[in-house]
Amino acid sequence: MATDNRINFWRRNVKVPGSVQPVYGAQHPPLDPRFRRTYPKDTKPKFNNLKSKKASSFHEFARSTNDAWDIDDEEDEDFLRNPSPTPSGLHSSTQNQQQQNEAGDAESAVSRGLSSPVTQAENLQNVQEEEEEEDAECEHINGKVIKSSSDAHLRTSSVHSSLQKQQSLPVRPIIPLVARISDQNASGAPPMTVREKSRLDKFRQLLASPNTDLEELRKHSWSGIPREVRPITWRLLSGYLPANKERRELVLKRKRDEYFGFIEQYYHSRTDEHYKDTYRQIHIDIPRTNPLIPLFQQPAVQEVFERILFIWAIRHPASGYVQGINDLVTPFFVVFLSEFVTEDVENFEVAALPLDTQRNIEADSFWCMSKLLDGIQDNYTFAQPGIQNKVKALEELVSRIDEDIHNHFKRYEVEYLQFAFRWMNNLLMRELPLRCTIRLWDTYQAEAEGFSHFHLYVCAAFLIEWRKEILSMIDFQGLLMLLQNLPTIHWGNEEVGLLLAEAYRLKYMFADAPSHYKR
């Protein structure tokens, strides 16, 4: 049992992390290996080398792989304090490439991604030539060589290793698109079509009625909510606001005052012995939340998230705070912030807003997140039984709708828990850009049991979407790397709409026919 725990795929580091750890996913692309630290030959940690012998089982893969969660925190701290110098040939090549990217078209810069093999070969050749010149200049005194020849060997081996990693990583360019929150109706987009304007007018008509017809509102929200009315619609569909228009202001004031009453009553206890571990874990996880989006790196925003998560955790002792819940705040925060922002939300300085507005956004985000978690809290109780059951249900569903993929996983010993745990724990937020998550949640809010039940069919449709790529992978390691780094960086409303349509088709076929297609 102890051995199984050590090789568990989702390792957890018991040490206090000292920096933001990279986490792979749509919002967390792999880091550029050219900027990784280098190590002396004897102390270099055994990072995963994709050129090595292919693992035949998950246990072999786990033993030979250091995942993003496994990198020692002390190493990250040393790296941030003392970044290793980049070899001159590689540095100059990188600088030239950056200048070319800035001078060229933006879209071509996106498509280039990592440097070409020809450039890599030139870099290596330049480094080797410099090393030969340095060796020729070594002075001999009393028959001893002053300059150690191991320096050149270390640099050569580190460049070889860096280039091998660079060639083996998935070609997924790190570009600003990953941090773009704005959807198709945001500022800077083309003018609304006649159909979009008609939909917006229909929403405004529904919201302006004395008693909003929630069923009609859900019907119209299923295919996406216009940005202009999304905040009020989310509040209504989540159950935070009443349908009666006259009561809304009174309810908002009462709930907001209640939330800040919790802050005054409980937040000071974050340093108490009983709660300090919970607060410490929240404090560690907040900087990791959407690290590529500037909005979430602002101190004012991080303090808001700390208060929301801490108050929720102590008010729900059955589960407490669990890693992954921090992601679930972000869509609500962005949507309610967009009510007061006309420019790009991702770069907006929240501290510039009036204090009352900041407090209202914080309180509304807390209550809507609480409503969401009320329906899926068994995902975060001890042993996370809700997630275990959903992953098992996903396996059963995929075995019925696409036997080829299911058998392919069995052939190469891929367990659904190894990739689908994160899909259920984070509601696909690590697999999709945030703008896609917001569109996805429009439908989840409109769908009965959207987060707890419909999400299963969305995950099945999402897996089948990559059928061709999955079946082309013929080893365990390649399959797992693909499933953890699915290329959704360019996805938008159209792709999410197609995904939801397929998920609805699967639900219609299988939800009420549990024996259908069963062998």
Distance CA 63, CA 65 (A): 6
**Cβ neighbours, 10 Å, residue 404:** 10
Q: What is the mean pLDDT of the chain?
A: 76
Q: What pLDDT band is residue 58 in, cutting at 50, 70 and 90?
A: low
Q: What is the DSSP string of 59-87?
A: HHHHHH---TTTS-HHHHHHHHHSPPPPP
Distance CA 365, CA 256 (A): 10
Distance CA 190, CA 436 (A): 19
Q: What pLDDT band is residue 162 in, cutting at 50, 70 and 90?
A: very low
In tens, the pLDDT along 200-236 reads 999 999 999 999 999 999 999 999 999 999 999 999 9
Does the pLDDT at position 110 exceed 70? no
Sequence-distant (6+) residues with CB within 8 A of 216 are 206
pLDDT at 192: 72
pTM greater than the 0.95 cutoff: no
In tens, the pLDDT along 163-204 reads 444 444 444 333 345 456 655 444 445 567 888 899 999 999
Q: Contact 321/369 with Cβ under 8 angstroms?
A: no
Q: What pLDDT band is residue 125 in, cutting at 50, 70 and 90?
A: low
Distance CA 339, CA 145 (A): 70
Distance CA 418, CA 126 (A): 42
Distance CA 255, CA 17 (A): 35
Domains of the chain with CATH codes: 377-518 (1.10.472.80)
Mean pLDDT of 119-125: 49
**Cβ neighbours, 10 Å, residue 193:** 9
Closest by alpha carbon to 220, among 235, 198, 239, 192? 198
pLDDT at 31: 45
Top-confidence residue, 492 or 108:
492
pLDDT at 511: 76
Identity of residue 31: L
DSSP conformation class of 53: P
